[in-house]
Amino acid sequence: MKRLFKIAQTATPGTGVQLREKAYGSHGIRSFLQDVLSMANTPVEGNRYIITGVGLDAAGQQRFVSVDREDFSGKPPYQALVAEFIEPPIHIKYRPLSVQHQRIGIYEIGDCQDKPYMMRIDYSEQLRRGDAYVRVDDASIKIGRRMLLRMFNERSGSPVQEDMIEIGFAGDIIHKKLCLPTVDLCRLPSTVERSKLGELVDARKKSRNTGATTRMVRMIHMRLFGSDSPYEDRSPTALNEEIEHVNENYESDDQYFLFEENAERLQLVVFNSGDEPLQNASLTLRMPNHDALHVATCVPARPGGAQQADGATVDLTDYPTVSVRGNEVQVSSTLGEIPVGGPVDVFELPLRICVGRELDGKQMNIRYKLFGSNLRQPVEGCLALSFRSAVEN
């Protein structure tokens, strides 16, 4: 953090640093993607930085303008946007920093050796698939064909043949297919609470329609919620309003149920049987977005706010980048160098998945694409997930 603090205080606009007074927010996503592309493609060594909340006055001195705290809440999900729209994958972190009592934001973009970085899919009419930008001095310039060819030709290292790379599920051998158990999602905390509240609504209605006392409702309340939950004389309307907010109120409980108590921890491996290490490797996965397939976007916390993970302390940035858009879930991970011989784990923290019973007996394909600066072309293929209830397994 001291390193970032020093960068924020001394940085001036240039090829590897961009200053921006205002945060991008939800209305500046196109500008954000364009800026990330230009920084990733810039010909400098090491990390690059976009600093929000910092500008220059008429004398060329830094001027700090506080960034709204909500900009760091994950909405918009900057890291997921990069994973969704740009390829090859880019390692990027967004962090808050306090300088001169002002909250600023720093995007740290990892060393980018797999140029050119381009739009994977269309974002808008102004930012289309295949578009690429590069930063020249302190301006972003759209890349033309000649510069793209030069970037391809400048890829470092000896070429690695695609057929020398194998990707699959971890195990005694590398598997191309994996069977996962399914879970009864009727036990989801929000679902259980919604069912209880619904039964209480029916009891309240019957009590009012028959003119009965609240004794029956009190007994039903105790049966559903136990003696530790005090009875409140709530109308059916009030209870229905509570039902509408169940998902919001039980979000952390649901996340813990899905991705800690009932999660399958999915790990993939890459095996390089070639003659040269694979440089600057990164992998993207794409799978269907199904209502019964739940993929964690982060490591869940214990309900109540206590930190929860596989160890006492976990760097949440070690978890793969997961983005969900429409009918597709995309997962991205940066691997770095893949040496010759011996499988290398794709994820520092395994991907967490929970599958509902609706997918019992079904199969789902996962498409993968592995990038590397010394690959002639990305390695592409398909893996399969099948699903069976734990009883059947």
CATH of residue 43 = 3.30.950
List the one residue out of 341, 320, 373, 363 whose CA is nearest residue 166: 341
108, burial (CB in 10 Å: exposed 0-12, middle 13-18, buried 19+): middle
Structural domain that includes position 359: 162-183+262-389
Residue 177's pLDDT is what? 95
- pLDDT of 307 over the 50 cut: no
Q: At 8, phi and psi to the nearest 5?
A: -60, -35
**CB-CB contact of 188 with 254 (8 Å):** yes
Structure confidence by residue, pLDDT tens digits, 29-58:
999 999 999 999 998 888 999 999 988 877
The whole-model pTM stands at: 0.72
Which residues on neighbouring strands pair with residue 72, listed in sequence order?
none
- pLDDT of 178 over the 50 cut: yes
The average pLDDT across 186-197 equals: 88
Q: At what angle do helices 29-41 and 78-85 cross, to 10 degrees?
A: 70
Provide the residue count of the chain: 393
Residue that is last in its domain, among 254, 285, 309: 254
Same domain, 138 and 196: no
Same domain, 303 and 216: no
Structure confidence by residue, pLDDT tens digits, 250-287:
889 999 999 999 999 999 999 999 888 998 899 999 99
Measured CA to CA, the distance from residue 376 to residue 288 in angstroms comes to: 28
Query: What's the structural domain count of the chain?
Result: 3
Q: Which helix (H) or strand (E) holds 253?
A: helix 251-256
**CB-CB contact of 62 with 100 (8 Å):** no
Measured CA to CA, the distance from residue 66 to residue 52 in angstroms comes to: 9
Residue 256's Cβ-side half-sphere holds a number of Cα atoms within 13 Å equal to 15
**CB-CB contact of 170 with 269 (8 Å):** yes
Same domain, 47 and 132: yes
Residue that is last in its domain, among 230, 254, 278: 254
- Token pair, residue 210, equals 């028959």
Which region holds residue 46: left if phi is over 0, alpha if psi is between -120 and 50, else beta? left
- Token pair, residue 106, equals 């720093």
Q: How is the beta sheet containing 344-345 ordered, strand by strand?
A: 165-169, 268-272, 344-345
Query: Which residues make Cβ contacts (< 8 Å) with residue 77, sequence separation at least 6?
Result: 297, 323
CATH assignment of the domain containing 370 = 2.60.40.10
* Most confident among 198-207, 217-226, 356-365 (mean pLDDT): 356-365
Residue 32's Cβ-side half-sphere holds a number of Cα atoms within 13 Å equal to 25
- pLDDT of 314 over the 50 cut: no
**Dihedral sign, Cα of residue 120, residue 53, residue 109, residue 44:** positive
Same domain, 318 and 200: no
- pLDDT of 312 over the 70 cut: no
Residue 286's pLDDT is what? 95
Structure confidence by residue, pLDDT tens digits, 52-79:
998 887 777 788 888 888 888 777 888 8
Same domain, 234 and 365: no
Which residues on neighbouring strands pair with residue 338, listed in sequence order?
278
Same domain, 44 and 139: yes
Beta strand 278-288 with 328-338 is: antiparallel
Same domain, 168 and 309: yes
147: number of Cβ within 10 Å: 16
Same domain, 170 and 319: yes
Share of the chain above pLDDT 90, in %: 39
Residue that is last in its domain, among 135, 153, 171: 153
List the one residue out of 76, 73, 70, 67 whose CA is nearest residue 26: 76
- Token pair, residue 266, equals 């999915």
Residue 311's pLDDT is what? 42
Same domain, 177 and 190: no
- Token pair, residue 253, equals 């409980």
Residue 233's pLDDT is what? 63
List the one residue out of 278, 313, 325 whose CA is nearest residue 83: 325
Same domain, 24 and 113: yes
Same domain, 144 and 112: yes
Measured CA to CA, the distance from residue 372 to residue 195 in angstroms comes to: 50
Stretch among 7-16, 38-47, 141-150, 268-277 having the lowest mean pLDDT: 7-16
Same domain, 35 and 130: yes
List the one residue out of 229, 214, 268 whose CA is nearest residue 383: 268
